[in-house]
Structure 1
């Protein structure tokens, strides 16, 4: 299909292609900005989201790792963040952005058996509220020993009386009930505050007919959609929905692409440690589905150009390298995986051998063989990067 055809598709807004993080030691977050559009519960959730005193260290808030000024993602390039009472306990997965999650469906298996939806990188959480609970309690995140400890911290906060007014004078008498209200408030904040889903990128304005993309961005867009080239739109849908809704650049499905092991994660010092996504170790209900081992949720690509690390294990620290891995994983595996003593490439080294067959090797661009030409050239990767830059929020 020609570039002209793809650009025409873009202008017609039709599809042209195919089918919780750890904590950081960044300290207190910026002061909240009043939003008269938020409900009382959501406005309270914003205060909770930014409150470092709710952590065991007294220095960590939700906003420390999910910084509003960096698309609600991390601001450093650590593979995993540090948390716990002394901010010295390393996590296990890279911090995901919290942007554009409000339309995430509950986890389900589609008619063809495809796992879809759910919060967290393995889809184990069914709502914002459930997702919010773990960071408050995880030893490698905010590090509270119990729900009662979280509630006790909030009871001393400056907005404790506001919490009582909203949820009842006796709310602090029941730690479980109070903790549930904390996570509910966090949920409402993320659902209601437009900063989590502003749809104001250059691409959104392009779709609205308010501006044009430049030549490099249009070339990148065509490559992004082209099923014989980038084929990115197969999972990262770039067209408007049938109801005219703005694209989320994810289909909420899961994929196993054999991301290389990241030795910057402390847990990988143990050769027996593997993060298998859908089948564990965090998610337990699918641990017998060995066909799903190694699969992680397809993230939105909105704001991807602002990310500091890429993939569930933070293996790459540049968008260029992440895209290079996508298209050269199989044509030039020696660039991404370690070599064995005999000089052979140890592909898919972050999976036990019995799960190597789960890795996607059939869809473009993963259908290449060693020595073949990559699906995208270096110049084409640069054009795709230019297009992905148009997905950054706040374009003016």
Structure 2
């Protein structure tokens, strides 16, 4: 008798679990359970869709976002067209870049609003140096001049509908709004309180309503371009290398009309800012993501959700992140004013005077709203586009990186000792950059400021890093 083949398995009883037939049956049983589970899940999903059809795009979209980082509902953004600049705008570009128009002969508009830095400051100083000898410290950090092409004039309350009625003063508008409770801002929702807070305008306090009005401000500021009068600006323009362009555009007589020449020069600067695409590029990673042309990383996706979450960061409550109904790209500002209570920047020369307070809308750099004390401490909400390229934040430049900015929002109310200086008794001097009689204007209703002392902050450190990752997607120049 031949010996058994060692390559063959020994004979197994039919009931043994290791028997090949039983193993196949077990595999088929497991596969059957899996198919049944998938079928049940699909049935539940279909049933849910039948009951809540309006929720399906959001649910499916969230799944797609989580897996791929893609926008499941891309939009076609309506951005300003790119076309050749008008002759007036080309003249404005030369004026914008001309340092000879300053008292020092060394400072132009572009010195503080650098094209290479999203038309913001080119360094990390809290304020810029200027004046006749370029040694005087400014009062506030220059805001970016980018993305102002849709900025409305300064106002309080809704637009006046009756064009035949007498103009309403700021005092009248403020009085009308004073009896109404301020609405809480919610992320992702259009501003809910246009009748209650100021909106629009340029500079941190909104004192200029047009780009033309804004352009003359630095020309006459004693710590910036430092001309003593529009007459000095006029004489500098008469000696400019582009004077013949003024004559070609506005006629030879303009050189004998000082006020008109200066007005047209500032108008030209405004046209340059309005027409040149570099002031509103819309080439960030987020813009491409909105259009379905880029994918966000997992950290950026988490940051976007936290940015929009009304119970967490709630950034989008003021920095609107969604396209408008007519597909205009978001500007990441509601153009309204907020009193945030940021700590005093003791490094500013102007703050060496302990009795000086920069109170935004109600002064001291604008004087037409000095009596509107319900707005003291309020400053314009800036765009967050290109925010990662900035190095001085808030109206006094007290912070120099986004981590400190986010810590301020997160800890201002829950752990104020980490934000404000301590007095002799070790108690934090909360809201130390605004007189006590105006501190009721400071926002304590909107998240994350709705937390109380000692409570858990709205965000973890990981949350903050994700939000910063998202804010980095708002920088122009991304290559999809």
TM-score (ref. length: structure 1): 0.92
Structure 2 partner of 1:265: 348
Structure 2 partner of 1:342: 425
The yes-or-no answer on 1:67 pairing with 2:79 is no
CA 145–176 in structure 1, closer or farther in 2 if over 3 Å, else same: same
Q: Is the 8 A contact 2:74 2:291 kept in 1?
A: no
CA distances 1:78-122 after superposition (whole Å, capped 9, x unpaired) = 111111110112111111000100100111223532211111111
The one of 182, 203, 211 aligned to 1:120: 203
Q: Classify the secondary structure of the residue corresponding to 1:384.
A: helix
Alpha-carbon distance between aligned partners in 1 of 2:258 and 2:71, rounded to the nearest angstrom: 52
The yes-or-no answer on 1:159 pairing with 2:206 is no
Structure 2 partner of 1:255: 338
Structure 1 partner of 2:172: none
Alpha-carbon distance between aligned partners in 2 of 1:144 and 1:273, rounded to the nearest angstrom: 24
Structure 1 partner of 2:132: 85
Alpha-carbon distance between aligned partners in 2 of 1:7 and 1:110, rounded to the nearest angstrom: 38
Q: Is the 8 A contact 1:11 1:207 kept in 2?
A: no
CA 10–340 in structure 1, closer or farther in 2 if over 3 Å, else same: farther
Which 4+ residue blocks in structure 1 deviate beyond 6 angstroms?
A: none
CA distances 1:154-190 after superposition (whole Å, capped 9, x unpaired) = 2212211112211211212111111101100000000
Structure 2 partner of 1:76: 123
Alpha-carbon distance between aligned partners in 2 of 1:358 and 1:288, rounded to the nearest angstrom: 14
The yes-or-no answer on 1:94 pairing with 2:141 is yes
**1:41: how far off?**
0.4
Alpha-carbon distance between aligned partners in 1 of 2:268 and 2:357, rounded to the nearest angstrom: 34
**1:36: how far off?**
6.9
The one of 403, 406, 410 aligned to 1:320: 403
Structure 1 partner of 2:308: 225
CA 136–196 in structure 1, closer or farther in 2 if over 3 Å, else same: same
The yes-or-no answer on 1:297 pairing with 2:297 is no
List runs of 5+ in structure 2 lacking aligned partners. 1-57, 76-81, 159-194
Structure 2 partner of 1:193: 276
**1:143: how far off?**
0.5
Structure 1 partner of 2:290: 207
The one of 370, 377, 391 aligned to 1:287: 370
CA distances 1:210-253 after superposition (whole Å, capped 9, x unpaired) = 11111110000000000010101111110010001100001111
Q: Is the 8 A contact 1:6 1:225 kept in 2?
A: no
Structure 2 partner of 1:22: none
Q: Is the 8 A contact 2:320 2:330 kept in 1?
A: yes
Structure 1 partner of 2:41: none
Q: Is the 8 A contact 2:71 2:289 kept in 1?
A: no
The one of 120, 132, 147 aligned to 2:230: 147
**1:7: how far off?**
5.2
Structure 2 partner of 1:40: 87
Q: Classify the secondary structure of the residue corresponding to 1:170.
A: helix
Question: How big is the alpha-carbon RMSD for the aligned residues of Structure 1 and Structure 2?
Answer: 1.9
Q: Classify the secondary structure of the residue corresponding to 1:73.
A: coil
Structure 2 partner of 1:136: 219
CA 344–318 in structure 1, closer or farther in 2 if over 3 Å, else same: same
Alpha-carbon distance between aligned partners in 2 of 1:10 and 1:208, rounded to the nearest angstrom: 8
Alpha-carbon distance between aligned partners in 1 of 2:118 and 2:63, rounded to the nearest angstrom: 33
CA 116–7 in structure 1, closer or farther in 2 if over 3 Å, else same: farther
Structure 2 partner of 1:241: 324
Q: Classify the secondary structure of the residue corresponding to 2:301.
A: helix
**1:261: how far off?**
0.2
Q: Is the 8 A contact 1:13 1:239 kept in 2?
A: no
Q: Is the 8 A contact 1:6 1:222 kept in 2?
A: no
Alpha-carbon distance between aligned partners in 1 of 2:352 and 2:106, rounded to the nearest angstrom: 28
What is the aligned length? 376
Q: Is the 8 A contact 1:125 1:131 kept in 2?
A: yes
CA 7–106 in structure 1, closer or farther in 2 if over 3 Å, else same: farther
Q: Classify the secondary structure of the residue corresponding to 2:252.
A: coil
Structure 2 partner of 1:394: 477
TM-score (ref. length: structure 2): 0.76
List runs of 5+ in structure 1 lacking aligned partners. 15-34
